[in-house]
Amino acid sequence: MDSALPAPAGILREPSNKGRATMKIPTDRQVLQAIYDRYKDSLEHFDRNLADRQSKIMVPIDCEEIAQRLQVHPDIVFGRLYYHLDQKYGYKMPDGSRASLFAMVAGRDRDCVNLPFLASVLAGLQEEWNRHAFAIGMAAASLVLSLVAIFKG
């Protein structure tokens, strides 16, 4: 279809990316870090008598706000949580119930993360990131030393 022609009625056109930077897809670690940074204080300040949510550990999140922080579409954040991260890290408990990282509905609340569980997953991802960063740093230092030895000797 020629982009100069208007789209026929009933047919949607993809938005043009002319003049806009391509959206960079955030990593699992970046998504979880953004959520954690935004909502980490909600556990400490939870008061069951004044609660704006039903559960202390299941914290409703605003996917649109997180998406803005990450500069992505809100469906990317929701999809990453619902279709990927919850499937990857959620598990079945011995009593048959499910421990979820993300729940579309938790009581009367919507789009909730299990914040202590999220913090544990994030800690593991940060540890993995630090190991990789250290290995890359060591490899880069080795390369620099090798190049210095070659050009000096």
Domain membership of residue 9 (yes or no) is: no
Range of the domain at 120: 28-152
pLDDT in tens, the chain (153 residues): 444 544 444 444 444 445 445 678 999 999 999 999 999 998 888 877 776 777 889 999 999 999 999 999 999 999 999 999 999 999 999 999 999 999 999 988 999 999 999 999 999 999 998 888 888 988 888 888 888 888 886
pLDDT the model gives residue 12: 42
| Residue 100 forms part of a structural domain | yes
Residue 35 inside a domain? The answer is yes
Contact 125, 29 (CB under 8 A): yes
Show the 3-state SS of 84-126. Answer: HHHHHHCEECCCCCEECCEEEEECCEEEEEEHHHHHHHHHHHH
| 3 lies in some domain | no
**98 inside domain:** yes
Residue 23, domain member (yes or no): no
- Nearest residue to 77 via CA among 53, 113, 122, 128: 113
How many domains, in total, are found in the chain? 1
What pLDDT is stored for residue 9 in this prediction?
A: 46
Residue 64 within any structural domain of the chain: yes
Task: Please report, for residues 28, 138, 139, 143, 151, the alpha-carbon distance to residue 148 in angstroms, rounded to integers and kept in the order given.
Answer: 38, 15, 14, 9, 5
pLDDT score at 21: 53
- 52 found inside a domain: yes
